[in-house]
Amino acid sequence: MENPAVSLLVAVYNTEAFLPNCLQSLISQTLKNIEIIIVNDGSTDGSQKIIDHYARKDGRIKTIRQENQGLGAVRNKGIEAASGEFLAFIDSDDWIEPDYCQSMYEKAKDEDADLVICDYAVEIQDTGKTVCPDIGKNYVGKPKEAFIKALLKGQVSGFSWNKLYRRSLIEQHKLVFPLRDELENIEDQYFSFRCLLYANTAAFVTKPLYHYRVHLSSIVQKYQAGLFEDGLALYE
């Protein structure tokens, strides 16, 4: 059986209010040769019922349940389970455009890129406002070092969810996310820096394919003890 072109790795923790919207966007992708790996990190709400419902609807969905271990452990578990040529990380309170996989995968193949970065839309739940940062147009055609410098200077964010990664790149260099008590406040930046360093090429899709939802219950909107110290340790 042919391996999937893309593995979508979904981290779930108590997001029952947003999960149907997220999963519906995944099963509606125009690129059909995908797998969807959902890791439920010990949710205590109705998230698992929603996951089971969608798993019955679509045979491309694989589900993993574990005790709560944190986002880094969840993403590492997804990487271990993935069989796609490329993989992408999806947060379960976000959603993606129908052509997210198709556009990202075609860009990776066209430019023989280990890493593809797309623009995204910030959806501010409490105001209904949408903000679309222009990222790609500033770095298209430039060497990846330009993006790395911008990341170091804080001019762009090191999110892991607006990127498509070649799975062999991650396996070859044993790239993993930090676990709890290991820079967990900035696990995305930690991972992104390393992927950019080892990638042969970083390509860009100048279209907001990923919708990043900002809401009051989001973990990144809460006080994160140790965030400053983790940041210093990362840059060191």
Task: Reply yes or no on whether the pLDDT at 204 is more than 90.
Answer: yes
Q: How many angstroms separate the Cα of 69 from the Cα of each of 13, 158, 170?
A: 10, 22, 21
Instruction: List strand residue ranges (DSSP E) for 42-153, in order.
Output: 61-66, 86-91, 95-96, 115-124, 129-131
Instruction: Work out the pLDDT band at 219, boundaries 50, 70, 90.
Output: very low
Nearest to 105 by CA among 3, 6, 210: 6
CB 201 within 8 A of CB 111: yes
Report the amino acid identity of residue 181: D
User: Coil, strand, or helix at residue 65?
Assistant: strand
For the chain, give the percent of residues with pLDDT over 90. Answer: 68
**What does the pLDDT read at residue 181?**
72
Domains of the chain: 6-235 (3.90.550.10)
- Read off the pLDDT of each residue in 213-219 and give the average, rounded to a whole number: 67
Average confidence (pLDDT) over 221-229: 51
- How far does Cα 207 stand from its chain's mean position? 16
Q: Which residues contact 23 (CB under 8 A, 6 or more apart)?
A: 10, 36, 38, 50, 51, 54, 61
Amino acid at 234: L
Res 152: pLDDT: 82
Is 109's pLDDT higher than 60?
A: yes
Confidence of residue 116 (pLDDT cuts 50, 70, 90): very high
Predicted confidence band at 50 (pLDDT cuts at 50, 70, 90)? Answer: very high
Q: What is the mean pLDDT of the chain?
A: 89
Helix axes 187-198 and 71-81, enclosed angle (nearest 10): 40
pLDDT of 153 reads: 84
Task: Give residue 138's identity as a one-letter amino acid code.
Answer: N
The pairing of strands 202-214 and 95-96 is antiparallel
Q: Whole-model pTM above 0.75?
A: yes
Position 60: which residue type? R
- 223: pLDDT confidence band, cut at 50, 70 and 90? very low
**Range scoring the smallest mean pLDDT among 81-90, 100-109, 145-154, 171-180:** 145-154
Query: In this model, does residue 197 exceed pLDDT 80?
Result: yes
Q: Tens of pLDDT along 125-150? A: 878 788 888 888 888 888 888 888 88
Are 100 and 210 spatial neighbours (Cβ–Cβ below 8 Å)? yes
Q: Is the pLDDT of residue 98 over 50?
A: yes
